[in-house]
Copies of this chain bind each other. A is one copy, B any other.
Amino acid sequence: MSSDPDRECPVDGGIDQQEMVSSKKSAVLVDGVILNGPTTDAKAGEKFVEEACRLIMEEVVLKATDVNEKVCEWRSPEQLKQLLDLEMRDTGEPHHRLLELCQDVIRYSVKTNHPRFFNQLYAGLDYYSLVARFMIEALNPSVYTYEVSPVFLLVEEAVLKKMIEFIGWKEGDGIFNPGGSVSNMYAMNLARYKYCPDIKEKGLSGLPRLILFTSAECHYSMKKAASFLGIGTDNVCFVETDGRGKMIPDELERQIWQARKEGAAPFLVCATSGTTVLGAFDPLDEIADICERHGLWLHVDASWGGSALLSRKHRKLLHGVHRADSVAWNPHKMLMAGIQCCALLVKDKSDLLKKCYSAKASYLFQQDKFYDVSYDTGDKSIQCSRRPDAFKFWMTWKALGTSGLEERVNRALALSRYLVEEIKKREGFKLLLEPEYANICFWYIPPSLREMEEGPEFWAKLNLAGPGCPQLGQLSSPPHDL
């Protein structure tokens, strides 16, 4: 990398057409390509970006808060394929045609920033995170080495440090990953490495059956992780939950003993703070006691519930989280940082992440650079190029302050509370259980069933109600809580 403008540079895509013609350089022809000929019309490219940005601003950002706009102009896959010009051809399209395509893409896409958009655990628009995301795209960094991402690596360090503070650890380590599922995988692999570092080199072949414990209400990524990591889904032990979806600690301990008796090797307990469907919080303190007794790694999947840590009112939901060995927490859900923004936080400060993940590639992580190479965090990751997702959260935190983030959480949970009370009052709706977080599970009872007794026939009929009549509704983050 060089920033010396005086260096010779005979071939330069930056020189525009005008300059090339007047410079009277002779053409350099290699393999049929005129190297010093004009490559692109930068002015036209810039104009295209400007026009497209105007379109994005008008059609997506400015319409975001308008409830009279549609969330989505729905078309089936077959219809949409007819409406969109998806095909890639031999010849390119002119800019005006590309802008029409952009318009079509926007028209038929779901406006996830619309006040009435709900989806599995995300919604809403955060202006600050959006700006951060535009900056990331314009700068196009990769956070593997400090030399190519100086600012973004320092930002990641600062954000991780702050999140660690809210977990209640004095120090720690961490990394931003492309999704909470990936964070859970990282944690599972870390726990395995801690249990037996040799596995990194030797693999699992010939070892006793490793086994891990999580609740029956955990996220499906635990199964995906066990399968991907070669542990096998049969070795995920699903611990029974109580009526509110919380892991039963006695059941956990019973299952650990049972596994030991069967000759398996327990190495990890994964508790959930904010389960996907019910929004339940496992009792972390009691689970931590058990993990201590049995010498097991405690991972807390707080991908969804972690944001409650920012609220003095609600952080008690995660009471005991400071006793975890690792925590997954996704600011892209309730805190609206933009998909994806997901941290894995690790209590260990003996460089466990690096020891577990490093491959020491010498072409990228040279040890004789002219700065402190501990800032080259890429070797802590399973990825090579990696996006600076922490920056999206940093910008929002800067804009709102901790107090603003706290308000966001409080408001989301107050809105949920309000909805619960409305459901109770309204005919034809039946609350499944009193929620402790922002997931509200209820049944819609069709008029034909409203007079029927709640016996087996009632439930069978309710279950048969077709699509378009949602049975189990789930309200996640608030429609538009900014």
Find A339's partner among B128, B229, B385, B394 (CB 8 Å cutoff). Answer: B385
A367 to B159 CA separation, bound complex (whole angstroms): 39
User: Which B residues are in CB contact (< 8 Å) with A42?
Assistant: 64-65
Asked if residues A40 and B142 are in contact (CB atoms below 8 Å), the reply is no
Quick check: is A14 within 8 A (CB to CB) of the other chain? yes
Binary interface profile of A, 98-135, with partner B (CB < 8 Å = 1, else 0)? 10011011101111110111111010110110110111
Asked if residues B109 and A418 are in contact (CB atoms below 8 Å), the reply is no
A208 to B204 CA separation, bound complex (whole angstroms): 10
Binds B, one of A69-77, A248-256, A282-290, A444-452: A69-77
Binds B, one of A180-188, A292-300, A428-436: A180-188
Q: Separation in Å of the A7 CB from the closest CB of chain B?
A: 8
A421 and chain B: residue at smallest CB distance: B30
Binary interface profile of A, 229-259, with partner B (CB < 8 Å = 1, else 0)? 1111111000000000000000000000000
Asked if residues A398 and B467 are in contact (CB atoms below 8 Å), the reply is no
Quick check: is A455 within 8 A (CB to CB) of the other chain? no
Asked if residues A179 and B386 are in contact (CB atoms below 8 Å), the reply is yes
User: Which B residues are in CB contact (< 8 Å) with A480?
Assistant: 12-14, 39
Quick check: is A18 within 8 A (CB to CB) of the other chain? no
Quick check: is A81 within 8 A (CB to CB) of the other chain? yes
User: Which B residues are in CB contact (< 8 Å) with A67?
Assistant: 5, 9, 12, 14-15
A13 to B116 CA separation, bound complex (whole angstroms): 10
Quick check: is A21 within 8 A (CB to CB) of the other chain? no
Binary interface profile of A, 32-64, with partner B (CB < 8 Å = 1, else 0)? 110100011010011011101100110011101
Asked if residues B399 and A92 are in contact (CB atoms below 8 Å), the reply is yes
Binds B, one of A143-151, A167-175, A266-274, A318-326: A143-151
Binary interface profile of A, 401-444, with partner B (CB < 8 Å = 1, else 0)? 11110010011011101100000000000000000000000000
A414 to B11 CA separation, bound complex (whole angstroms): 11
Asked if residues B474 and A401 are in contact (CB atoms below 8 Å), the reply is no
- Copies of this chain present in the complex amount to 2
* Interface size class, chain A: 35 or more
Asked if residues B478 and A201 are in contact (CB atoms below 8 Å), the reply is no
- Top 4 nearest A-B pairs (CB, nearest first) are A203-B232, A230-B230, A13-B480, A45-B127
Quick check: is A332 within 8 A (CB to CB) of the other chain? yes
13 extra interchain contacts, Cβ-Cβ under 8 A, other than A93-B398, A112-B148?
A: A13-B480, A46-B61, A77-B146, A98-B398, A98-B399, A110-B139, A113-B138, A119-B148, A178-B182, A201-B232, A204-B231, A205-B208, A220-B359
Quick check: is A305 within 8 A (CB to CB) of the other chain? no
Quick check: is A89 within 8 A (CB to CB) of the other chain? yes
A232 and chain B: residue at smallest CB distance: B203
Quick check: is A346 within 8 A (CB to CB) of the other chain? no
Chain A positions 212-239 with a Cβ under 8 Å from a chain B Cβ: 219-221, 223-235
A42 and chain B: residue at smallest CB distance: B65
A178 and chain B: residue at smallest CB distance: B178
Quick check: is A353 within 8 A (CB to CB) of the other chain? no
Find A72's partner among B76, B150, B418 (CB 8 Å cutoff). Answer: B150
Secondary structure at chain A's binding surface: helix, strand, loop or mixed?
loop
Binary interface profile of A, 1-38, with partner B (CB < 8 Å = 1, else 0)? 11101000101111110000000000010111101000
A318 to B12 CA separation, bound complex (whole angstroms): 29
Q: Separation in Å of the A127 CB from the closest CB of chain B?
A: 4
Asked if residues B179 and A385 are in contact (CB atoms below 8 Å), the reply is yes
Quick check: is A468 within 8 A (CB to CB) of the other chain? yes
Known pairs A203-B230, A230-B229, A363-B277; A158 contacts B415 (CB<8 A)? no
Binary interface profile of A, 151-179, with partner B (CB < 8 Å = 1, else 0)? 11011001100100000000000000011
Q: Separation in Å of the A364 CB from the closest CB of chain B?
A: 6
User: Which B residues are in CB contact (< 8 Å) with A124?
Assistant: 13
Quick check: is A313 within 8 A (CB to CB) of the other chain? yes
Asked if residues B332 and A385 are in contact (CB atoms below 8 Å), the reply is yes
Asked if residues A371 and B204 are in contact (CB atoms below 8 Å), the reply is no
Quick check: is A456 within 8 A (CB to CB) of the other chain? no
Quick check: is A349 within 8 A (CB to CB) of the other chain? no
User: Which B residues are in CB contact (< 8 Å) with A403?
Assistant: 90-92
Most chain B CB inside 10 Å of its own CB: which residue of A33, A181, A371: A33
A200 to B332 CA separation, bound complex (whole angstroms): 30
7 pairs, CB–CB < 8 Å, chain A vs chain B: A14-B67, A33-B410, A181-B382, A203-B204, A219-B384, A228-B382, A339-B385
Asked if residues A202 and B12 are in contact (CB atoms below 8 Å), the reply is no
User: Which B residues are in CB contact (< 8 Å) with A375?
Assistant: 77
Known pairs A205-B209, A363-B276; A3 contacts B479 (CB<8 A)? no
